[in-house]
Amino acid sequence: MSSHQTRKRTSLWIPLTLVLGCALIMAGYVLGPRAQAKEDTTVTQAKKKILLIAGPPSHGNGEHEFRAGCMLLADALNKSTANVEAKVHWYGWPKDLSAFDGVDAVIVYADAGGKMNEQIQELLDTKVKKGMGIMFMHYGVHPTKEVGEKYFGPWTGAYFETGWSVNPHWIADMTAKQDHPVGNGLPNKITAYDEFYYNMRKLHPKGDCDCCMDLAVATPTPEKIVRYINLWNEHGDACFGTPQGLMWAREPGNGQGRGVGFVGGHYHRNWAIDDFRKLTLNAIVWVAGAEVPKDGVQSEKITEEKLNENLDRPVKDKPIKLPTDALLKQKPMKRPEDPKNYRR
Give, for all 344 residues of the chain, the pLDDT tens digit: 444 444 444 443 334 444 444 443 344 433 344 444 444 444 558 999 999 999 999 999 999 999 999 999 999 999 999 999 999 999 999 999 999 999 999 999 999 999 999 999 999 999 999 999 999 999 999 999 999 999 999 999 999 999 999 999 999 999 999 999 999 999 999 999 999 999 999 988 766 688 999 999 999 999 999 999 999 999 999 999 999 999 999 999 899 999 999 999 999 999 999 999 999 999 999 999 999 999 999 999 999 999 999 999 999 999 999 999 999 999 999 999 888 888 76
Instruction: Give the C-alpha separation, 263 to 254, whole Å.
Output: 26
* Packed helices 66-79 and 274-287: angle between N→C axes, nearest 10 degrees: 80
For 55, how many CA atoms within 13 A lie in the half-sphere containing its CB?
A: 23
According to the model, what pLDDT value does residue 205 have? 73
Domain ranges of the chain: 1-39, 49-307
According to the model, what pLDDT value does residue 44 have? 59
According to the model, what pLDDT value does residue 248 have? 98
- CATH no. for 49-307: 3.40.50.880
Nearest to 168 by CA among 87, 73, 266, 83: 266
| Alpha-carbon separation of residue 14 from 3, 21, 27, 150, 252 (angstroms) | 16, 10, 20, 74, 60
Those residues whose C-beta lies under 8 Å from the C-beta of residue 344, and which sit 6 or more positions away, are none
Partners of residue 244 on adjacent β-strands: 218
Instruction: Give the C-alpha separation, 162 to 313, whole Å.
Output: 28
According to the model, what pLDDT value does residue 342 have? 86
According to the model, what pLDDT value does residue 203 have? 86
Instruction: Give the C-alpha separation, 58 to 90, whole Å.
Output: 13
- pTM for the predicted model, two decimal places: 0.87
Cβ-based neighbour number of residue 187 at 10 Å? 13
